[in-house]
Structure 1
């Protein structure tokens, strides 16, 4: 079956559109082992090399200062060195123990000690942080550095109804689970479980009594054997 030239052109355009969309979605992203407010989490930054000619040789990630993360510890990555930059906060904050905090980690810098991430490769960079903010979206703007000197800013925040071309890595903070909820659920389950056990006990006893009665009735109804 021959495809008209106009139809072939449309098909080719669609293929190119999807190919471009796929290539454009190879963003720097982050995943968190926990998103619960107030918890500690391991953040994993996934960094793909989008350049066809240069390698990724650096990554800089900015940490929030309005709701600072009081601790940041990087996991070693072979062929890379990491630096956690601590800075004085614009406004002091108070931690859960009532201590006044005037400085906190504000940036993490990963630098390749070798060739870095070649074209078509990606790397993962992990950092343990905490405690997470109480609510909202945790934006973590990043700058990707290439071996040819180019720097790609992943710092944009999407607005209502629009999608950022180079979005900043981010995670959505979820509400904290109250400590008493799990205990309350356990306590609520215990009476129900005990009631179920009592019911089963009485049911078993009733079955046993019924079996004895039936056996007795059967014995009484047996015909007597007369002596010869």
Structure 2
């Protein structure tokens, strides 16, 4: 290869490398926002979710996270897991329409959770765990609007609700998708539950068939070994006679 060709190859490699770095950088910046994990939970259940907060700045740390819980679908039970180095404040709001839970009428529900006092350094992330329930069964999502505060005073609001079939907004709010609970049993053509059972006699028959198959397989293997031995013996005799 000529010196000119070698130079061109090096230039092409350098340009390709810079392009890949730029693409990776854009992808990281686009995906680095406050999210709720896991992203799905079952309607009517209780769930433990984590609000994952990455630090998007190179010159400042994240010092506070505020999460607003949806009051149009209030949660009767909310508890937080302590995070070392962080303090937490839980606020409640009065409900316009009380809800019933555990046989009692609930007139207030947690509306906001704020973590502060700690620092998420550049290049790091932190998860804040919350146990919540009973999840509603009349909606397919819960939207948690979040506010991220940096040590330099910058405030970033993650409060734009993503819409199905549309591009993700610039500052999407964390969304927990709610799915319907799976049926405990299947249903046949008539709509009646179908149940699959295995009888004791069937299990025994299966065991017997399996044992028979193993026995036949063993006999076949033994016959093969004997055949090989006989063949080898015949070849040896033929060579000795020759």
- TM superposition score normalised by structure 2: 0.70
**Structure 1 residue 194: deviation in Å?**
3.0
Residue equivalent to 1:26: 32
State whether residues 60 and 108 of structure 1, in contact with CA within 8 Å, keep that contact through their aligned partners in structure 2.
yes
Taking structure 1 as reference, are residues 166 and 193 closer, same or farther at Cα in structure 2, changes over 3 Å only? farther
Aligned partners of 2:61, 2:13: CA distance in 1, in Å?
A: 39
**Structure 1 residue 48: deviation in Å?**
0.9
Q: Choose from 42, 51, 54 the match for 2:48.
A: 42
Structure 2 gaps of 5+ residues are: 1-5, 187-193, 211-242
| Pairs within 5 Å for 1:73-112 | 73-95=79-101, 97=103, 99-112=104-117
Residue equivalent to 1:188: 195
Aligned partners of 1:22, 1:34: CA distance in 2, in Å?
A: 23
State whether residues 86 and 115 of structure 2, in contact with CA within 8 Å, keep that contact through their aligned partners in structure 1.
yes
Residue equivalent to 1:152: 156
Taking structure 1 as reference, are residues 203 and 50 closer, same or farther at Cα in structure 2, changes over 3 Å only? closer
Aligned partners of 2:207, 2:147: CA distance in 1, in Å?
A: 67
**Structure 1 residue 127: deviation in Å?**
1.0
State whether residues 69 and 129 of structure 1, in contact with CA within 8 Å, keep that contact through their aligned partners in structure 2.
yes
Q: Which runs of 4+ in 1 moved over 6 A?
A: 4-11, 201-204
Taking structure 1 as reference, are residues 95 and 177 closer, same or farther at Cα in structure 2, changes over 3 Å only? farther
Aligned partners of 2:127, 2:121: CA distance in 1, in Å?
A: 14
Structure 1 gaps of 5+ residues are: 205-228
- Deviations along 1:202-223, one digit per CA (max 9) or x if unpaired, are 989xxxxxxxxxxxxxxxxxxx
